[in-house]
Amino acid sequence: MTLEACQATDFSAFDTFDNYCYAMFTFDQHVVYDDHLSFVSPRFLDAVAARDDIFEVDAFSRVTYNRDRFNEKVMTRWDEMQIRAFKAN
């Protein structure tokens, strides 16, 4: 899927907390261990980091990954999930 196709696609049928947990678990596998994100694009900053309390954005738009909040919010549910894959509602 191209970026343009992804932007035009309606993902509302997949808007569930389990899918969010799956996506965030996958994202976590790629985060540098110092928890500072150096690859942040303006799109990521506006669409994800500013809206999710797993990320902390400072006055200079530097993003820090809050691992404690990730563990509390995502891993608690991850450990309970029986199906760990994206699935439609």
Proportion of the chain above pLDDT 70, given as a percent: 96
* pLDDT tens, residue by residue, 28-38: 887 766 677 77
Long-range contacts of 35-44 (CB under 8 A, 24+ apart): 35/64, 35/65, 35/66, 35/67, 36/62, 36/63, 36/64, 36/65, 37/63, 37/64, 37/65
- Residue 49 burial (10 A CB sphere; 0-12, 13-18, 19+): buried
More confident residue, 52 or 33: 52
Q: Kindly state the average pLDDT of the residues 37-47.
A: 81
pLDDT of 1: 72
State if pTM tops 0.85.
no
* pLDDT tens, residue by residue, 57-87: 888 888 888 889 999 999 999 899 888 887 8
User: What is the chain's mean pLDDT, rounded?
Assistant: 84
Contacts of 29 (CB under 8 A, 6+ apart): none
